[in-house]
Amino acid sequence: MAKKIIITIDGWSSCGKSTLAKQLAKELGYVYVDSGAMYRAITLYFLRNHVDWTDKKEVHNALESINLEFVFNPQRQASEIFLNGENVEFLIRDLVIAEKVSDVAAIREVRAFAVAQQQKMGAKKGIVMDGRDIGTVVFPKAELKIFMNADNAVRVERRFRELYEKNPNVTIEEVKNNLEMRDYIDSHREVSPLRKADDALELDNTNLTHEQQLHKALDWVNSRLHKA
Ligand code: CDP
């Protein structure tokens, strides 16, 4: 049987991690897991249920009532996240969630809850997972770790275009402020801050096409597959 590896993709908000992760998963026949969707779905639950996330007990009880599942949608050829049986894949992309998700993701117990599930998903390898702490905390022994970045203005523009398609009321200022705020909180939090793992390879895709970034990453995958 062909050897399978774990590929982690970490990096700043909206730098194209999920696009590359999906490309790689498709090319290699691997499972793609969007770890950010888990933090977004937890945030949605907290907001809907008015959970005071500064209160440890409330967070603990809320997490006990949360069940997260990824289900593959053959029509979209993509996994979608279900929160307690409800497909929330589209709801969680809203800016209302993005405004709060980094605060929720900074909570120790929330991270322990998500990380335990992420580690189970990678038990059989053959997985590409993107996020903030995947190469540093979730899979510190992953065979290939990628740390992505792109110019700030390019990241803002890309995310603005995505959000504008769904909601023409969104402004570029709002998107810019949200990315700056999340990047700050994500990289300064006490638990599992965003940082490049020492053994991660850097990929700046500011001036790369989708094909070029895939090509580069596949070269890295092949070198890992031959090494192991
Ligand atoms: O798509 P984008 O890069 O903007 O964000 P995302 O992957 O959907 O993640 C949303 C938020 O979840 C991030 O800003 C982090 O606060 C949090 N997150 C995290 O803390 N750890 C992860 N492994 C993934 C996401």
Residue 1 clears pLDDT 80, i.e. is over it: no
Q: Which pLDDT score, from 0 to 100, does residue 2 have?
A: 79
With the most atoms of ligand 1 within 8 angstroms of its CB, the residue from 38, 94, 182 to mutate is: 182
Which residue in 95, 96, 210 sits closest to 164, CA to CA? 95
- What pLDDT digit, counting tens, does each position of 160-173 carry? 999 999 999 999 99
Q: State if residue 111 touches ligand 1 by the CB under 6 angstroms criterion.
A: no
Q: Per the domain annotation, does 224 fall within a domain?
A: no
Other C-beta atoms lying within 10 Å of the C-beta of residue 70: 18
- Domain-located, residue 222: no
Would you say the CB of residue 16 lies under 6 angstroms from ligand 1?
no
Q: What is the band of 221 on the pLDDT scale with cuts at 50, 70, 90? A: very high
Say if ligand 1 is within 6 A of residue 102 CB: yes
Q: Give percent of the chain above pLDDT 90.
A: 96
Give the per-residue SS3 of 122-166.
CCCCCEEEEECCHHHHHCCCCCEEEEEECCHHHHHHHHHHHHHHH
Q: To test ligand 1's pocket by mutation, which of 39, 81, 152, 183 has the most ligand atoms within 8 angstroms of CB?
A: 39
The residue to which tokens 């597959």 are assigned = 225
Q: Determine whether the shortest distance from the Cβ of 183 to ligand 1 is under 6 A.
A: no
pLDDT, tens digit (0-9, with 9 covering 90-100), for 34-81? 999 999 999 999 999 999 999 999 999 999 999 999 999 999 888 999
Whether residue 127 is contained in a domain is answered as yes
For residue 111, give the CATH number of its domain.
3.40.50.300
Higher confidence at residue 228 or residue 177? 177
Q: Stretch 13-30: mean pLDDT, rounded? A: 96
pLDDT at residue number 5: 97
| CA 183 – CA 15 distance, rounded (Å) | 11
**The two structure tokens encoding residue 92:** 């969680």
Residue 148 CA, ligand 1 centroid: distance in Å: 13
Cβ of residue 134 lying under 6 Å from some atom of ligand 1: yes
Q: List Cα–Cα distances, 213 to 19, 25, 173, 218, in angstroms.
A: 10, 14, 28, 9
Whether 21 is covered by a domain: the verdict is yes
Domain count, the chain: 1
Residue 219 domain-assigned (yes or no) = no
Nearest protein CA to atom 25 of ligand 1, as residue:
36
Q: Structural domain of residue 47, as residue ranges? A: 6-211
The answer to whether 167 touches 175, Cβ cutoff 8 Å, is no
Nearest CA to ligand 1 atom 2: 13
